[in-house]
Amino acid sequence: MTPADEALAKKRYFAINLMRIMGAFFVMAGFLLIAGRWGIAGMPTDRYIGIAVVLIGAFDFAVFPLLLARRWRSPKEL
């Protein structure tokens, strides 16, 4: 592995982990909105916004890193 390949792999690893951390923060923020501990637009609307934020955060945490890893996978050598 060349130094350029190693640097690229480190950047991709950092990006995948950052995506998981941001997903976890989105999930926590969504639960705060649902519980009414953090207000944005008023209570009935905050719950709907919170549900959307939780769903986006769950996607960012669980699915998006897998999509990135699949896209960045090294080609198989024969």
Low-confidence ranges of the chain (pLDDT < 70): 78
Question: Model pTM greater than 0.95?
Answer: no
Domain definitions of the chain by residue range: 22-72
What confidence score (pLDDT) does residue 78 get? Answer: 64
What confidence score (pLDDT) does residue 32 get? Answer: 95
d(Cα 23, Cα 14) in Å, to the nearest integer? 14
Residues 6+ apart with CB under 8 A from 66: none
The sign of the CA dihedral 20, 24, 26, 27 is: positive
14-34 pLDDT tens trace? 999 999 999 999 999 999 999
